[in-house]
Homo-oligomer: A and B are copies of this chain.
Amino acid sequence: MAEKTVKEITSMDEDFTQWYTDICLKAELVDYSSVKGCMIIRPYGYAIWENIQKNMDAMFKATGHENVYMPMFIPESLLQKEKDHVEGFAPEVALVTKGGQEPLAEPLVVRPTSETLFCEHFSHIVQSWRDLPKLYNQWCSVVRWEKTTRPFLRSREFLWQEGHTVHATAEEAKEETIRMLNIYTDFCKNYLAMPVIQGQKTESDKFAGAEATYAIEALMHDGVALQAGTSHYFGDGFPKAFNIQYTDKNNKLQYCYETSWGVTTRLIGAFIMVHGDNNGLVIPPRIAPTQVVVIPVAMHKAGVLDKAGEIRDRLAAAGLRVKMDDSEQSPGWKFAEYEMKGVPVRLEIGPRDIENNVCVIARRDTGEKMTVSLDEITSFLPQLLDTIHDDMYKRAEERRDAMTYVAHNKEELKEITDSKQGFIKTMWCGDPECEDAVREEFGVRSRCIPFDQENLGDKCVCCGKPAKYMLYWGKQY
């Protein structure tokens, strides 16, 4: 219950799971509370989420999406309107059964996702082709009664965004589904410096109620895969269950087509496990709450604090997120602290530097140190942050590619899964029985049928019959 104090971060080679939890606590991203299965997102963690929100929200709005807010409660009968959907979610809902000291006539589900509420609303507001499309999104929290808890990866309540759109035609809805998957992919690349595989989920991994589910899959430092975002094409299933119809240009009544798509605070867990190292967090520069930390050295000496403050102000004026630490701790303590907290760049300034009109700049990602003229820092640092971003992406991609294996048959699958962890590419016949067999025998699950199909042969890795798809497999978070 009480805050777990982390003295030293466990080495990731020794115990990756413990390394991850240590970082989340020691970097003050989260805290536990007496609310079982839920977590507190502390200022440093929430500032990261705010940067994710701000940048992703701008991408949503640039593509015509609008934000709304739906109630957090769903009457049980409303959740039950779409058969597959309720089957998927009923086992893990939280139920409100009392309100204002009275038992409720009908229990309310705390939203696990809001398809049903959006559908009901769409059925009110969509009448004509002129009302279409509606491109809605909401930022909120949802609740799913999980049995285990891991910061950002799995908790009973988590923060996310859920997009819900309704269209006149199947084509338009399909386009939207892929458009949003591409936005997630771009976001992961351009803000989280995280490469992802785009693909379609197999039938057995589809979202409850969807015709097709698409996902982006990332590979963590330990070779375990993480689903970082999903985008669902619903066809007209929900519209038929909720009677969402419109009059087309020929005055004929038609059913609508829908999509939904979401990412969660999991994205934070994802980049921690992609970029972090044994010294702690390594935060991608474009979402880092602090991009540059200015540390005055020998700060009691005349002029040092003034100069450090002046540098901070110049960098802030240049649009950087910058912080100066003039606390009483030693420079060495501060170096270790901001390294652990993953601040992309440290700027040291002491009396001799001031004499020479320079400062020392250290990169968090590589540890590299440079001496830079104070006249150049406002142009040098924004470029350096871009370089760090690009280098982080490249290293993550190389690591992932080095941990991606190919198996043509069960023997090769066994050899890989016995000794290695990572993505495994195979051909697959498309039969869910083979999917199940591989999972049971080798402990890996299908990740997705990637958009980038490769021809690795013509036989299913499991049954040897003619292959239909190339598929990614892996262990998963």
Interface residues of A (CB under 8 A from B): 2-3, 31, 33-35, 38-43, 46-47, 49-50, 66-75, 78, 90-101, 107-108, 110, 117, 120-121, 124-125, 136, 140-141, 143, 145, 147, 156-157, 159
- B38, B67, B108: which contacts A43 (Cβ < 8 A)? B67
Q: Are A73 and B157 in contact (CB under 8 A)?
A: yes
Q: Are B72 and A157 in contact (CB under 8 A)?
A: yes
- Please name all residues of chain B whose beta carbon is closer than 8 Å to the beta carbon of A110 when the two chains form the complex: 72, 96, 110
A47-B66, A66-B43, A69-B159 given as contacts; is B117 within 8 A of A33 (CB)? yes
Q: Are B96 and A95 in contact (CB under 8 A)?
A: yes
> For the complex, what is the distance from the CA of A145 to the CA of B72, rounded to whole Å?
13
- Please name all residues of chain B whose beta carbon is closer than 8 Å to the beta carbon of A71 when the two chains form the complex: 33, 35, 38-40, 157
Q: Are B96 and A3 in contact (CB under 8 A)?
A: no
> For the complex, what is the distance from the CA of A140 to the CA of B253, rounded to whole Å?
40
- Please name all residues of chain B whose beta carbon is closer than 8 Å to the beta carbon of A42 when the two chains form the complex: 68
Taking A34-B120, A72-B157, A92-B100 as known contacts, 17 extra A-B pairs with beta carbons closer than 8 A to each other, sorted by chain A number, are A33-B70, A33-B120, A35-B71, A35-B73, A35-B117, A38-B72, A40-B70, A41-B69, A43-B67, A49-B69, A72-B72, A73-B156, A90-B101, A94-B100, A95-B96, A95-B98, A95-B99
- From DSSP, what is the main secondary structure of chain A's interface residues? mixed
**Contacts A/B (CB < 8 Å), 18 sampled:** A34-B120, A38-B72, A39-B71, A40-B70, A43-B66, A43-B136, A46-B68, A47-B66, A47-B67, A71-B157, A72-B72, A72-B110, A73-B156, A90-B101, A91-B100, A94-B98, A94-B99, A99-B145
- Please name all residues of chain B whose beta carbon is closer than 8 Å to the beta carbon of A107 when the two chains form the complex: 98
- Please name all residues of chain B whose beta carbon is closer than 8 Å to the beta carbon of A73 when the two chains form the complex: 35, 38, 156-157
> For the complex, what is the distance from the CA of A147 to the CA of B101, rounded to whole Å?
12
- From A40, A107, A141, residue with most partner B Cβ within 10 Å: A40
A99 to chain B, nearest CB (A): 4
- Please name all residues of chain B whose beta carbon is closer than 8 Å to the beta carbon of A31 when the two chains form the complex: 121, 124-125
A64 to chain B, nearest CB (A): 11
A192 to chain B, nearest CB (A): 20
- B3, B43, B92, B95: which contacts A68 (Cβ < 8 A)? B43
- B3, B34, B41, B141: which contacts A78 (Cβ < 8 A)? B34
> For the complex, what is the distance from the CA of A108 to the CA of B2, rounded to whole Å?
19
> For the complex, what is the distance from the CA of A66 to the CA of B98, rounded to whole Å?
34
> For the complex, what is the distance from the CA of A94 to the CA of B72, rounded to whole Å?
12
- Please name all residues of chain B whose beta carbon is closer than 8 Å to the beta carbon of A98 when the two chains form the complex: 94-95, 97, 107
Q: Are B33 and A121 in contact (CB under 8 A)?
A: yes
> For the complex, what is the distance from the CA of A53 to the CA of B99, rounded to whole Å?
29
- Please name all residues of chain B whose beta carbon is closer than 8 Å to the beta carbon of A100 when the two chains form the complex: 91-94, 145, 147
Q: Are A72 and B41 in contact (CB under 8 A)?
A: no
- From A33, A39, A140, residue with most partner B Cβ within 10 Å: A33
- B38, B50, B90, B121: which contacts A40 (Cβ < 8 A)? B121
A454 to chain B, nearest CB (A): 41
- Please name all residues of chain B whose beta carbon is closer than 8 Å to the beta carbon of A94 when the two chains form the complex: 96, 98-100, 108
- Please name all residues of chain B whose beta carbon is closer than 8 Å to the beta carbon of A99 when the two chains form the complex: 93-95, 145, 156
A331 to chain B, nearest CB (A): 18
Q: Are B34 and A75 in contact (CB under 8 A)?
A: yes
- Please name all residues of chain B whose beta carbon is closer than 8 Å to the beta carbon of A145 when the two chains form the complex: 99-100
> For the complex, what is the distance from the CA of A92 to the CA of B100, rounded to whole Å?
4
A117 to chain B, nearest CB (A): 6
